[in-house]
Structure 1
């Protein structure tokens, strides 16, 4: 197995430190700021990113959304149900009905799911 360069390893992993845990000289970064940094570094290494999936912490971050749009990356992000969203002219909210179905699982009893 080829050895992974140290600077590449640093692009894959970032350590989040709460403000109260910073050492002298450390610079505080939020989790979304770290995510943006990781994405930029991976692209610089030549990674071809087709789609970014993110939970609401990142989906509600303007920094993350702007960075994804600037890099022209496709994205699917979660937002909280009470998160406000600005919609452009002609756009509308769709309210689809959830439909229950039975998910057949090979390793345990089937269970109800919704789509």
Structure 2
């Protein structure tokens, strides 16, 4: 199970990198700018102002949360590598239909972001 999680995470990570790289080549700029990315924090909940994307009118969904993982690595004093994985929320890809801007929908979308953080933390143990 642990090996499956590691392989899945690596494939997901590199697939995301390839997608970002393709968009960079096509648009001439990175897909995710720093002001577009919100790092998960227990002290900072999502607000409707964070949902800056254009609503998907073809979707039956009320809102859409775009989230992913980022990794940060560093060498520690004992010559080992420390890897931190955290969840991020992409503001310009996350959207809400105006008629569904209520607290229940916002709490539901926060749940998606919280689940991303849970899996980010679980994946840290595999490195």
TM-score with structure 2 setting the length = 0.23
Kindly name which structure, 1 or 2, has the bigger radius of gyration based on alpha carbons.
Answer: 1
What TM-score do the two structures reach when normalised by structure 1? 0.25
Structure with greater helix percent:
2
